[in-house]
């Protein structure tokens, strides 16, 4: 399955993947982040029950220094 994450294509050896599994596979567990899938926010409480499918476009964001 191919997903686009933060603008870059990434391949996963599975047919489907929960957002929770995705976060773990990207080594982002425990990080404070927010995720948008195809332009819709996925609330943190829904990570485990939201399944991703081929072609999903994801934005994973965090807080950084800024004015």
Partner 1 sequence: MSDLLKIAGKTYQSRLLVGTGKYQDFAQTRAAIDASGAEIVTVAIRRTNIGQTAGEPSLLDFLPPEEFTYLPNTAGCYSADDAVRTLRLARELLDGHKLVKLEVLGDPNTLYPNMIETIAAAKVLVKDGFDVMVYCSDDPIIAKQLEDIGCCAVMPLASLIGSGMGILNPWNLQIIIANANIPVLVDAGVGTASDAAIAMELGCQGVLMNTAIAAARDPVLMASAMKKAVEAGREAYLAGRMPKKLYSASPSSPTTGLIK
1 binds partner 1 (CB under 8 A): no
63 binds partner 1 (CB under 8 A): yes
Binding test (CB under 8 A) with partner 1, winner from 2, 38, 43, 57: 43
Tokens of 31: 């990080």
> Minimum distance from CB of 27 to partner 1 (Å)?
5
- Among 67, 56, 62, smallest CA distance to 22 is for 56
Cα separation, 30 vs 23, whole angstroms: 9
Cα separation, 5 vs 17, whole angstroms: 14
Binding site for partner 1 (CB under 8 A): 5-8, 26-29, 31-34, 36, 39, 41, 43-44, 59-67
């Amino acid at each position: 399955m191919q997903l686009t994450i933060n603008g870059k294509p990434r391949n996963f050896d599975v047919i489907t993947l929960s957002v929770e599994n995705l976060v773990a596979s990207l080594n982002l567990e425990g990080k404070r982040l927010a995720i948008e899938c195809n332009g819709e926010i996925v609330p943190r409480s829904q990570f485990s029950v939201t399944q991703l499918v081929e072609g999903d476009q994801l934005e994973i964001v965090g807080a950084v220094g800024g004015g």
